[in-house]
Amino acid sequence: MRVEDTASGQELAPFELEIKDEIASAQSPFEELASQEKREGENQLKRISKYKLSCLIRRTKLTPLQVECYRLIWLKGLTEREAAKKLGFSRSRVRNIKQTIMSSLTLNLEKEKKRDRMAAKAQLACKTEKQRKIWNLYFKQGKTIREIAKDLSLSRQAVRQLLMVILPRG
């Protein structure tokens, strides 16, 4: 089959045809930039998601076996069968551990969401400087009532009462 260059009426060599096809099928600079931005956005979202997941994993109290199973399956990308072989367990045991990890993470995530909603409501209820300090220590820094009492030189009962004042009912 012969193809001619329409401008000059001359036949195109196979190499020229190949180049012409590549040029015709290439993305425009705008399309290249748009797809690059999309990839960068997806990569950033993945990094944020991985960071949030790693924070959630740290806050969720997993057993050493669960941590190892998590590391093998989700971080190294092994299958249940491969992880079972490495751990020396049956595939069903690894599947049960995996399900326990997922349940623990889901439960902890729900607790954190509930805590965040409660923290937002409690922040609005803070009227005094002491209440704001306790709110910050309890919700932002994650300190216990005992630690707050020690930091502010208050009794645990006083901290508990101040928390009850600012925590939303129900």
Q: Which residues contact 89 (CB under 8 A, 6 or more apart)?
A: 97
The residue type at 27: Q
| 35: Cα separation from own chain's centroid | 23
Neighbouring CB atoms inside 10 A of 134's CB total 27
Closest CA to 84 of 75, 73, 76: 73
Q: What is the residue-level pLDDT of the chain in tens, covering all 170 positions? A: 444 555 566 777 787 888 878 777 777 777 777 788 888 877 777 777 777 777 777 778 888 999 899 889 888 889 999 999 999 999 999 999 999 988 888 888 888 888 777 777 777 767 788 888 888 888 888 888 999 999 999 999 999 988 888 776 65
Tokens of 124: 């609005």
